[in-house]
Structure 1
Amino acid sequence: MPASHLCLAVLVAAVWGLNFTVIEVGLDHFPPLLFTALRFLAAALPAVFLVGRPKVAWRWIVAVGLVLGVAKFGLVFLGMDAGMPAGLTSLVLQVQAVFTAVFAAAVLRERPTLVQAAGMVVALAGIGVAAADEGTSGPLGGFALVVAAAAAWGVSNVLTRKASPPDALNFMVWVSVVPVLPLLALSLLTEGASRDLAALRGLDWEGAGSVLFVAWVATVFGFGAWGRLLSRHPASTVAPFSLLVPVFGVSSAALLLGEPVTPLRWCAAALLVSGVALTTLRRRPGGPPRTTGGGGNAPPAEHPGRPGERGGVTPTRSGAG
């Protein structure tokens, strides 16, 4: 990979990690479900008029849109609004790799190797350590919501695998259309019209900037750049950079929000990142293991690599968070 592409991969990971800090800022201005709806509305418009027609069946766009947009991101924003720290959220979400492997085994009959199974155990141990750390410093309800979001992400990953979109950006933009109305309806029902209107009337540059960052920078730029890298390099070369997302997520939250990073959280980070790295190893028939994907701010999708190489499961979204 040339130096320019290497820098681009690191930049995307940094953007997706920083995205969790920006979400924290946005939650100071909007109710969580309204903020999630605005995020997808801004990601869809005007991009939906520029990317062309959908390149996969509508059933996959609707299914991924509901599971990823409404369930996964709705739960993430609710969890963070309930007190889950931004840095810890970026870390805990990486357990989606374990859920993805479990669901893929059940639905796609992709049996995990012994190395992958060991990685799942290590990653789950990291979740246990993170839960113990959060139990001493914050509400476990938000933690549980983020773990549920990771499970929803795992479901959306399997759905995306089934859809096999040939164009990650086109797919993500059309997926972004689906959650807007359901999230707005849920916001009106649970957060109330008066609270939503008050947030919109009080919109300032900081609130608008947070929406535009999570929509245009983390989603449109992030996925466009990631898809560009995947079109030029094997997925096994690109995907490991997604493991940098929680590194940037934890560090940016500590630097910009003053979130403490306890020894238990460092331990949880080491276990989770190591476990996810092992979980995303797949073995070619007759060949050595290879890395095929990880966390990040996005649902994995299969992408072609170089001629003659088959891409693996790689992240195509984080805004993440």
Structure 2
Amino acid sequence: MRIGHLGLALLVVVLWTLSFLAVKLGLRDMPPLALSTARLLLTSLPWVLVLPRPPVPLHKVALYGILMFALQLGLLAVAIHLGVPAGLAAVLLQMHVFVTATLAAVFLNERPSQWQILGALVSFSGLGLVAMHAGSASSSLGSGFSVVGLLLMLLAASAWGTANIVSKRLGPVNLLSLIAWGSLFAWPPLLLASLTFEGPELILHSFRNLSGIGVGAVLYMAYFGTFLGYALWSKLLHLYPATQVAPFTLLVPVLTILSSAVVLNEPLLPWKLAAAGLVLTGVLLATFGARMVRHLQRAPS
């Protein structure tokens, strides 16, 4: 990979890392569903007026948008609102790799490899470690977030994994168009959920008292974390094989854990680092295990 393109890949990692911090900062001013609604509203409008509609049936674009954006981002925001640390949320979202593999085996007849099975076992051991430490903030063994928050993060990862299968069935489409049009179908159900569960009074109060940090968080998530990040990512995938680009995404949870400790004062607890290491090791084994073995077998003794 050329130096300039390597810099773009690292820039995407930084943009996506800061998106997790932006969610946490935005939640200081807005309830989670309203925050996600505002993010996706800005992601879709006015861009759907200038970007061509993906050349696939609209109901498939709507399904992708609801899964990838409404459910994944909405559940992520609610989980962080309930106390899941931003760094840990970034790690738990990596479970989408195994959801994608499972659904691909069921619906696309793609048989999981032994490395994917081994990676899943390692990652789920890290998930079990997280579950052991989930509890109330007042608990001496708890981590300050509830089991509900953990379950919501797993649902968010499941929504991402399911969206990957839907995306695969769409075939080759312009990624930016898919983001904009998918977001157009994602924010109305989020707005309805926000009005139902958070209430119009709380929503109006949060908008009236929105701070500069809150405004910046929403704008950052919509334009930098989503549009710019995915635009650069799409460019890299066009220039290089996915196998050469994909490993950079594993830097996102690592940097999120470190940056959230600095910016948000999230403690770097030993169990959290161990759980993150297990989850990411499992993802590495599932994604690159077979390739690493073939490389070692070809290497001169």
Relative to the length of structure 1, the TM-score reads 0.86
Report deviation, 1:280. 2.2
Question: Per-residue deviation at 1:283?
Answer: 6.3
Which of 250, 255, 266 matches 2:262? Answer: 255
> Shift in Å at residue 53 of structure 1?
2.7
- Indicate the SS of the match to 1:223: helix
- Identity of aligned pairs, percent? 37
Query: What's the CA shift for 1:204?
Result: 2.4
Offset from partner CA, 1:92-149 (integer Å, 9 cap, x none) = 1111111111111111111111111101111111111122233421222211111111
Q: What stretches of structure 2 of length at least 5 have no aligned partner?
A: 136-141, 296-301
Q: Which amino acid aligns with 2:71?
A: A
Corresponding residue to 2:148 among 141, 154, 167:
141
Structure 2 residue matching 1:179: 3-state secondary structure: helix
Supply the distance in 2 between the matched residues of 1:207 and 1:228 (Cα, whole angstroms).
30
Select 2:211's aligned residue among 199, 204, 217. 204
**2:124 alignment partner AA:** L
How many angstroms does 1:262 deviate by? 1.0
- The higher-RCO structure (CA 8 Å, 6+ apart) is 2
Larger helix proportion, structure 1 or 2? Answer: 2
Instruction: After TM superposition, give the deviation of residue 263 of structure 1 in Å.
Output: 1.0
The whole-number CA distance in structure 1 between the counterparts of 2:53 and 2:82 is: 38
**Residue of structure 1 in register with 2:286 after alignment:** 279
The yes-or-no answer on 1:164 pairing with 2:171 is yes
Q: The residue matched to 2:110 in structure 1 has which SS?
A: coil
Matched, 1:128 2:128: yes
If you compute each CA radius of gyration, which structure gives the higher value, 1 or 2?
2
Q: Would the aligned equivalents of 2:104 and 2:165 in 1 still touch at CA under 8 Å?
A: yes
* Conserved? CA contact 2:54–2:173, under 8 Å: no
- Cα drift, residue 76 of structure 1: 0.8
CA distance in 2, matches of 1:281, 1:111: 16
Q: Distance in 1 between matches of 2:114 and 2:106?
A: 16
Work out whether residues 92 and 154 of structure 2, in 8 Å CA contact, stay in contact via their aligned partners in 1: yes
Provide Cα deviations, 1:290-317, integer angstroms capped at 9, x if missing partner: xxxxxxxxxxxxxxxxxxxxxxxxxxxx
User: d(CA) in 2 for partners of 1:37 and 1:101?
Assistant: 29
Unaligned runs of 5+ in 1: 290-321
Question: Is the Cα contact below 8 Å between 1:86 and 1:250 reproduced in 2?
Answer: yes
Give TM-score, length-normalised by structure 2: 0.91
CA offsets 1:14-68 (integer angstroms, 9 cap, x no match):
2111211110000111111111110101111222223223233212211011122
2:50 corresponds to which residue? 50
Q: Cα distance 1:116–1:141, how it changes in 2: closer, same or farther (>3 A)?
A: same
Deviates more, 1:225-234 or 1:59-68: 59-68
Q: Distance in 2 between matches of 1:49 and 1:238?
A: 31
On the 8 A contact 2:115/2:290 being kept in 1, the answer is no
Q: Sort the Cα spacing of 1:171 and 1:282 in 2 relative to 1 into closer, same or farther, 3 A.
A: farther
Contact 2:43 2:226 in 1 (8 A): yes
User: How far is the alpha carbon of 1:179 from its aligned partner?
Assistant: 1.1
Aligned-residue CA RMSD (Å) = 1.7
Is residue 206 of structure 2 the alignment partner of residue 233 of structure 1? no
Q: Tell me whether 1:267 sits opposite 2:270 in the alignment.
A: no
Contact 1:18 1:248 in 2 (8 A): no
Alpha-carbon shift at residue 206 of structure 1 (Å): 1.1
Counterpart residue type for residue 155 of structure 2: A
